[in-house]
Amino acid sequence: MKRIFLIVLGVFLILQFFPVSRNNPPVTSEIQISKEVKEILKRSCYDCHSNETVWPAYSYIFPASLLISHHVEEGREELNFSEFGKLAERKQNKKIYEVWEQVEEGEMPPKDYLLLHSNATLSEKDKEILKQWTESFNKESE
């Protein structure tokens, strides 16, 4: 039993030395929004949906490192506020609509993220600000 424990511990320690991608590429074409909306997005969305991810200490420990790196990679692929301006206007409209849709349905920010980042919780006021922003964004582009 002791030998199995030592083997498992050894494997766990060795896995700590395999790096995962925790990069923050340069911000190239950031979304242009009001300070109020930007503050909400930075607090609740930017860790996964921008090139300005704040990598917490636990993101350097296997297996959390793999999960978090993968989650951020997927988030950036789906919507990256740091590269938002590169999208065609039609695609921007679709993405902004999806932001509100997912917030309204309680899908974003994800519950598992909120467990460790309670400051990312959206208040009712935050939600109303985001709703008004998404509505005005889509009206401007019509």
pTM listed for this prediction: 0.82
Q: How far is Cα 48 from Cα 110, in angstroms, rounded to an integer?
A: 11
* Total Cβ atoms within 10 A of residue 36: 13
Average pLDDT, stretch 29-45? Answer: 93
Q: Which residues have CB under 8 Å from 48's CB, separation 6+?
A: 71, 72, 74, 75, 76, 113
Q: What is the mean pLDDT of the chain?
A: 87
Domain extent at residue 84: 2-140
Q: How far is Cα 105 from Cα 101, in angstroms, rounded to an integer?
A: 6
Per the structure, how many domains does the chain have? 1
Instruction: Return the amino acid letter for 23.
Output: N
Q: How far is Cα 121 from Cα 130, in angstroms, rounded to an integer?
A: 13
* Residue range 51-97, pLDDT digits in tens: 999 999 888 888 888 889 999 999 999 999 999 999 999 999 999 99
